């Protein structure tokens, strides 16, 4: 029979036995983490300080940046620390925390991407009703729902993943604790319950994706009716980046969770992990800021110190209220 000794720690995937390559991995991940940290913090700061950006779209974008910071902070720092200190260990509690927090931030992230698609649909297809539908109370309720609904969903995955004993091995074939790799370590075939939850999750994510696609089909249909080329360009500049982010996040994530896992992951598995764990938090601020005149204008004001004291006080009053 398999040994069912209580597991107290796991071994994460190492990128190489070579010390030089370990340090190279640390440097690459550090550069990606700093890029995500700086980019998302700038978006948060610009939206918070520039009162011209206190609209539903930028409110949701600020929440998305906070979630991106959470997603990358849950996984990358631990992997960097292991490469720097030449170790692979992660405690049982640390692995549980990674699974819960990663699912929490990723789920809330996709919920906000869905809400942002709805916001753009109302803004472009029903502009006369936009202020009524997307009022402050409605925006806060949608934001709170996105954050809160991710908690029981993440708890369900985490509790179901760690309720069974691990005995096949302590080696997680990924640079962070992720559910498909944890399922490989089960002592029995009882992993089917978690596999069922994962299948339900895929259906849920695909349903949201269909909603997003349908919203954008109607958006693009409405945009093509706009006689002004400037109006069309403005609409496309806010919608196309959002659709790119959604597609990148969903397609790479579903691929990672649906394909058969291997105890000896290839370089393609590593690239896939980077695409849905590290790349979105890094490129989201670039996509949204480089193609958005309002964000670039607000960033320019912040960098030049042109955000007035009156605006800072106004932001403080809004936060307090």
d(CA 293, CA 302): 14
308: enclosing H helix or E strand: none
Q: What per-residue confidence (pLDDT) applies to 2?
A: 45
Cα-Cα-Cα-Cα torsion 186, 188, 194, 199, nearest 10 degrees, comes to 110
Phi, psi of 314, rounded to the nearest 5 degrees = -65, -40
Nearest 5°: phi and psi at 261? -85, 155
Residue 44, C-beta contacts closer than 8 angstroms, at least 6 positions apart? 62, 65, 66
Q: What are phi and psi of 184, to 5 degrees?
A: -65, -20
Q: State the Cα torsion 39-246-104-153 to the nearest 10°.
A: 170
Question: What end-to-end distance do the CA atoms of the chain give, in Å?
Answer: 61
Average pLDDT by stretches of 10, the chain with 321 residues:
63 81 89 93 88 88 93 92 88 92 92 90 89 92 94 89 76 84 72 69 83 87 76 69 75 73 67 81 80 71 60 49 45
Domains and CATH numbers, the chain: 16-320 (1.20.1070.10)
| pLDDT score, position 69 | 94
pTM (two decimals) = 0.84
291 neighbors 237 (Cβ within 8 angstroms): yes
Are the beta carbons of 216 and 222 closer than 8 angstroms? no
Quote the radius of gyration of the chain (alpha carbons, Å): 21
3-state helix, strand, coil in the chain (%, to 5): 75, 5, 20
């Amino acid at each position: 029979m398999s040994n069912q000794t209580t597991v107290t720690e796991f071994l994460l995937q190492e990128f190489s036995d070579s010390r030089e390559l370990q340090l190279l991995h640390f440097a690459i991940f550090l550069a990606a983490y700093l890029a995500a940290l700086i980019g998302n913090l700038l978006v948060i700061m610009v939206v918070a300080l520039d009162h011209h950006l206190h609209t539903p779209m930028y409110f949701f974008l600020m929440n998305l940046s906070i979630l991106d910071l959470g997603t990358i902070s849950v996984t990358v720092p631990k992997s960097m620390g292991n490469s720097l200190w030449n170790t692979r260990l992660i405690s049982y509690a640390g692995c549980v925390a990674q699974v819960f927090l990663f699912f929490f931030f990723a789920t809330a992230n996709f919920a906000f991407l869905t809400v942002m698609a709805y916001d753009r649909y109302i803004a472009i297809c029903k502009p006369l009703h936009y202020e009524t539908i997307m009022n402050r109370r409605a925006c806060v309720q949608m934001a709170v729902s996105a954050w809160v609904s991710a908690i029981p969903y993440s708890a369900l995955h985490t509790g179901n993943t760690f309720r069974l004993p691990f005995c096949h091995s302590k080696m997680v074939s990924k640079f962070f604790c992720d559910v498909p790799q944890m399922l490989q370590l089960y002592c029995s075939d009882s992993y089917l319950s978690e596999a069922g939850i994962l299948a339900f999750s895929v259906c849920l994510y695909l349903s949201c994706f269909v909603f997003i696609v349908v919203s954008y089909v109607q958006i693009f249909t409405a945009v093509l009716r706009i006689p002004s080329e400037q109006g069309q360009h403005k609409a496309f500049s806010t919608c196309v980046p959002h659709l790119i982010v959604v597609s990148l996040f969903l397609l790479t994530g579903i691929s990672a969770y649906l394909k058969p896992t291997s105890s000896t992951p290839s370089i393609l598995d590593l690239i896939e992990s980077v695409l849905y764990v590290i790349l979105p938090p890094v490129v989201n601020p670039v996509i949204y800021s480089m193609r958005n005149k309002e964000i670039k204008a607000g960033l320019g004001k912040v960098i030049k110190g042109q955000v007035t004291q009156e605006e800072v006080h106004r932001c403080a009053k809004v936060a307090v209220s």
